[in-house]
Structure 1
Amino acid sequence: MVIRRHGQEEGNQFPSKTYVEAVLEPAYNHAKQELLLPMIAVHKAHLVMLYEQSLLSKKDSANIAKALLNIDLEQFREGNYNGQFEDLFFEVEDKLLKLSDESSSNLHLARSRNDMGIAIYRITLRQKLLLTLHSALELHASLLDFAGKHTDTIFIAHTHTQQAQPTTIAHYIAAVSDSLARDIRRLQAAYANCNLSSLGAAALTTSGYDINRERVAELLGFDGLIENSYDAVSGADYVAEIASGTQLAAINLGRFVQELLLWCTQEFAVIKVAAPYVQISSIMPQKRNPVSIEHIRSLLSSVAGSSQTVLTMIHNTPFGDIVDTEDDLQPYAWKSLDTLEVIYRLLSKVIDSLEVNKDVLKKRAGASFATVTELADTLVREEEIPFRHAHKIVSRLVSQAVEQGKGVGELDLQSLNEIAIHTIGVPLKLSEEKFKLALEPEHFVNIRKLRGGPSPSEIKRALEAQHGRLHSLEEWLSERETHVATASAQLDDSLTNFIR
């Protein structure tokens, strides 16, 4: 049986070689790897619904069910495009016709390639989203565990790439994990808008047959319908939302990864990456290159690029059923999610293996002028002078010390007092003890107990809250995975009932 292909002229049995190379063969190869199982699932669900609505006989339904359960999917996966059929859909349809003794000729009642294709894409994307979210939550847990080990590990934070103020590794990592949690919630929202059924929309106006759209959605594990049939086959925002969330997740994580690479340098000496995640040099014996993190950085850029391709391909397209949002576009969305998922898993393992150089960080914090904000705050509290006056006094003290080649440990109360007299006209009442305390990094961190601050007690509270949110996200993911798996099992059970 030869099936005429869309756009094929009479007398032309095979498409042109260039059309095959540019469009048909790549689409076929992507489909056989990614779309085959969702395609069969859609066939199964549509069959069950047609039988339940008395649109197919018991005999035909049983023949089609046997064909669907016995079809050799590996044959398609291992096959090559040969031009006999336009694409995988028609090849599968032809195979089902043969296996069912033509009973499946009515399997296409009340549906179109349009609504079926969108449903298949949505099933494929939802599965990739669930896998990506699973790995994202794994990374989230690794970050929280890492932060929990370093609530007292003080280091100097930077603003504008310059030393700013003392904080803790836990405070920094908690910020990263909060950012990751927002990325997860955005992908969670994208999942909700993706996991809706287009089936029953047919070409774009539904059908005159009395079908049950809700039943098909239920059988396939969708959470609901895309109600408007035109929207069902025309809307592309479901994949655009996934691309946007994926792109932002890659950009956000990339900023953290870039800092990890800086922290690996001997100059920063903050962390050491475990041996399984580094490579040596072919010529320089001393090298421990953190290439796993470098690869993560470059792959995150590829995720952002693939996601942008999705958005660009949708831009300025008509609002209708068009190829721009289908075979040519979907692989970029798949690739972005697949890459992001493996990055999350790899980075989680890297984080689990990191060693932090606490001694270097402590010495660096103790030798830095980064604590002098607290000295200015202390003058405001103890001397009851305006902050701008206190800022000016401390700023002059630091400038004077730098000019004289002195470090923070060489700052003295006498010099501070002399500058104060010159600035505000009166001597300070500040004691030597409070002066020294104001310059200690541990004191700087410990008194910043405000919500969101770096003090160990506040960070522990924040991490507990993050663990609670992580648990809720894990429960949501488990529910979604169970829902989809249960629907798949029940669908096969329904099909098996036809042939008993």
Structure 2
Amino acid sequence: MALWSGRFEQGVSQFTQEFGASLPVDKAMYKQDIAGSMAHARMLAKQGVISDDDAQAIVDGLEQIERDIDEGDFTFDINDEDIHMSIEKVLTERIGDAGARLHTGRSRNDQVITDTRLYAKELARELMEANLKLRKTLLAVAAQNEGVYLPGYTHLQHAQPVLLTHHFLAYYWMFTRDFGRLRQAYDAANMNPLGSAALAGTTYPLDRFATTDMLGFSGTIPNSLDAVSDRDFLLDLDYAASVSMIHLSRLSEEIILWSTSEFGFITLSDAYSTGSSIMPQKKNPDFAELIRGKSGRVVGDLVALLVTMKSLPLAYNKDLQEDKEGVIDAARTLFDCLTCMEGMIATMKVNKEAMVEQARKGYLAATDVADYLAKKGMPFRKAHEVVGHLVLLCDKRGCDLDDLSLEDFKAESDLFEADITEALDLESIVAARNTFGGTGNDAVHQQMQLAEDAYTNDNDWFFEWEPPR
């Protein structure tokens, strides 16, 4: 018999019981549910709503149930509908009337959102830790490959040469922003709804600030209607996960391209590759492809929750039961993908010679030749046109700009002198770009220091910060 069955003359059918049950999903939050119940019981005793003996019996009983679940000695019954009813039923069976007093001044509405907020905080911290590990590896690989050149691309066409360190740092900064979004999602979840009851608060003299302290929340939600119906913090976590997956997908796409025979920029470790059942020579970047594919799944989780929330009136609606499965899936998927990407980056081999060879192709010095003319007084738009003519000449001859003679250059403009060859040197082209954020050696060294500082700040916050008690 359901705990809410007093109003009903008959129970639901077995099908609708299973259809309406959230237990298969929310049993993952059993630790959070037990923590919330213990805090509630202690607060009730402190306020004189229940006796100290009842509170102690409740806490002792819940601790034993938690141990049973941890050890696999607890049977979840789908007929219990959700994790709250499942635990409360067994608690009452074990300790009697004291267990039945636990729900005093509380509704499943504020109970479930308390569990969900605690669980969202845990998920966010797990993702932040995985994010830090990936960023540490990106910094290490960026440092190991100082002085390696490769072509930078726009439209997947050769554009200008860059340092590989600079390229890796571009992704590092993406994941640094992801950490900030995860931290914001954590902060959004870090507010206490417990004590809001169904939607209007309760007539019992609850101390909501006491449970805020006991559960480690940073604050107490001031509106009971908002407390039980708000799922913005889950949208924040879903969004943070989605953006991070998009960044992982972009990096995966580059890894896939770079590992092809056409590029040959990297060789993936055997541990992060698979073969073919028919073609013995194949070494496929399957795990990068899986990360790229899973990005759609996580974005779908975000869209699903947005659509679920879009027309819900205040306060609680059963639709909100659909809030957790997608978020849990998004968080677990992102965690696995961050872990996989970290291992893939840490173990791949960089083929420096192949990168440098391609950096010397595709007229990557064209912009510098135009700058050469502009610095001698020619309007840049005119210089752009002159160099375009030179590139066309190279196309017709099947050569590159550094294959042209000084006479070829002077045929387009008398401003060209013998020192034009300096503008065609790969190392000089890269080294000259030392504006803040540029790919020049000095600028990249400065950027590395900033990146290391950002990592240290985030890492210190994560490992030194303790939630309030």
| 1:110 aligned counterpart, secondary structure | coil
Q: Please, which of 289, 293, 299 is the counterpart of residue 298 of structure 1?
A: 293
Mapped pair 1:40 → 2:26: no
Q: Which amino acid aligns with 2:449?
A: E
- 2:19 corresponds in structure 1 to 22
Ranges in structure 2 where 5+ consecutive residues have no aligned partner: none
| 2:161 aligned counterpart, secondary structure | strand
Change (3 A) 1:6 1:150: farther
- Asked whether the 8 Å contact 2:402–2:421 carries over to 1, the reply is no
- 2:136 corresponds in structure 1 to 141
- Asked whether the 8 Å contact 1:148–1:460 carries over to 2, the reply is no
- 1:498 corresponds in structure 2 to none
- 2:412 corresponds in structure 1 to 419
Q: Please, which of 324, 331, 342 is the counterpart of residue 330 of structure 1?
A: 324
**Aligned-pair distance for 1:198?**
0.3
Q: Distance in 1 between matches of 2:97 and 2:138?
A: 57
Q: Name which of structure 1's ranges 255-264 and 445-454 shifts more when overlaid on structure 2.
A: 255-264
Q: Distance in 1 between matches of 2:96 and 2:20?
A: 32
Q: Which amino acid aligns with 2:436?
A: R
Deviation track 1:119-164 (CA, whole Å, cap 9, x = no partner) reads 0011111111110111011111111111112231111111012111
**Aligned-pair distance for 1:214?**
1.1
Change (3 A) 1:431 1:457: same
Q: Name which of structure 1's ranges 276-285 and 406-415 shifts more when overlaid on structure 2.
A: 406-415
- 2:206 corresponds in structure 1 to 211
- Asked whether the 8 Å contact 2:193–2:220 carries over to 1, the reply is yes
- 2:183 corresponds in structure 1 to 188
Q: Which amino acid aligns with 1:73?
A: I
Q: Distance in 2 between matches of 1:101 and 1:137?
A: 47
- 2:467 corresponds in structure 1 to 483
- 2:96 corresponds in structure 1 to 101
- Asked whether the 8 Å contact 1:122–1:194 carries over to 2, the reply is yes
- 1:456 corresponds in structure 2 to 441
Change (3 A) 1:232 1:455: same
- 1:345 corresponds in structure 2 to 339
Deviation track 1:28-82 (CA, whole Å, cap 9, x = no partner) reads 12122x1211111111111111122222222222222221222232588753535
| 1:285 aligned counterpart, secondary structure | coil
- Asked whether the 8 Å contact 2:17–2:81 carries over to 1, the reply is no
**Aligned-pair distance for 1:447?**
0.7
**Aligned-pair distance for 1:18?**
2.5
- Asked whether the 8 Å contact 2:18–2:78 carries over to 1, the reply is no
Q: Distance in 2 between matches of 1:213 and 1:387?
A: 67
Higher relative contact order (CA 8 A, sep 6+): 1
Q: Distance in 2 between matches of 1:332 and 1:98?
A: 33
Q: Distance in 1 between matches of 2:353 and 2:91?
A: 69
Return the TM-score normalized by structure 1.
Answer: 0.89
Q: Distance in 2 between matches of 1:200 and 1:4?
A: 20
Mapped pair 1:405 → 2:407: no
- 1:79 corresponds in structure 2 to 75
Mapped pair 1:384 → 2:384: no
Name the count of aligned residue pairs: 467
Deviation track 1:457-481 (CA, whole Å, cap 9, x = no partner) reads 211211111111111111222245x
Identity within the alignment, %: 28
- 2:256 corresponds in structure 1 to 261
Q: How much is the aligned-residue C-alpha RMSD, in angstroms?
A: 1.9
* Residues 163-174 of structure 1: pairs in structure 2 closer than 5 A: 163-174=158-169
**Aligned-pair distance for 1:5?**
4.1
- Asked whether the 8 Å contact 1:368–1:408 carries over to 2, the reply is no
Mapped pair 1:61 → 2:47: no
Return the TM-score normalized by structure 2.
Answer: 0.95
**Aligned-pair distance for 1:365?**
1.6
